[in-house]
A and B are shown apart, each in its own frame.
Chain A
Amino acid sequence: DTAVSQTPKYLVTQMGNDKSIKCEQNLGHDTMYWYKQDSKKFLKIMFSYNNKELIINETVPNRFSPKSPDKAHLNLHINSLELGDSAVYFCASSHLRDTGGYTFGSGTRLTVV
């Protein structure tokens, strides 16, 4: 019973393509997040949704569009992929302002060629 599951785990695609990464959590959390981990392992928040509403939208190109159909799902759609989008993308969930920390998915390694 995976708590936060992301699909796919690996994604290789050509420049200019559009791709989506899906995320689902079964923990009953009300907040979900997308993080990007670059080649130097730095983790940076991209988006955060609380009860399907966007509450954090960091400086991210508008080619990235999150969508939250319900509290348990947060998908990430990326248009016109560029080489610099290659990274590992992590989904996470928590209760808002939870002291217990976040639960992370296993990550999606995106490679743009």
Chain B
Amino acid sequence: AQTVTQSQPEMSVQEAETVTLSCTYDTSESDYYLFWYKQPPSRQMILVIRQEAYKQQNATENRFSVNFQKAAKSFSLKISDSQLGDAAMYFCAANSGYALNFGKGTSLLVTP
């Protein structure tokens, strides 16, 4: 079984600044994948970034990047140059089998 833990229920960042959202996971699988999803007030689930566990290189998508520490089972999301449109719930998720398991989410507030 997998568990995904997000220890920050809420985070706040000023526009143009950088913020890091934390995520740790626990799995006994050797082959697994990690994801960050964004859920704005519209409630649509939007894939932000993904990481294959066998790849050492951290994934990057424009202003979004991850810090993947496999030994520590840590998968944090860094948002650079934060924008008002980044305000949302962010969910960390892990998939090593037949379903995505989600953390409880971090609510990100972006202030002007």
Q: Which residues of A contact B (CB under 8 A)?
A: 31, 33, 40-45, 48, 50, 55-56, 88, 90, 92, 96-97, 99-104, 106-107, 109
Contact = CB atoms under 8 A, between A and B. Distances in A.
B64 interface: no
A91 to B, nearest CB: 10
Interface of B: 33, 35, 37, 39, 42-45, 47, 50, 52, 89, 91, 95, 97-102, 104-105
Given A41-B104, A99-B33, A106-B43, A56 B52 contact: no
Chain B interface main SS type: strand
Contacts of A40: 104
A89 to B, nearest CB: 11
- Which of B37, B45, B91 is most buried by chain A, counting CB atoms within 10 A of its CB? B45
Contacts of A42: 102, 104-105
A100 to B, nearest CB: 7
A41 B37 CA distance: 13
A107 B98 contact: no
Contact of A90 (B45, B47, B50, B105): B45
A43 to B, nearest CB: 4
Contacts of A106: 42-44
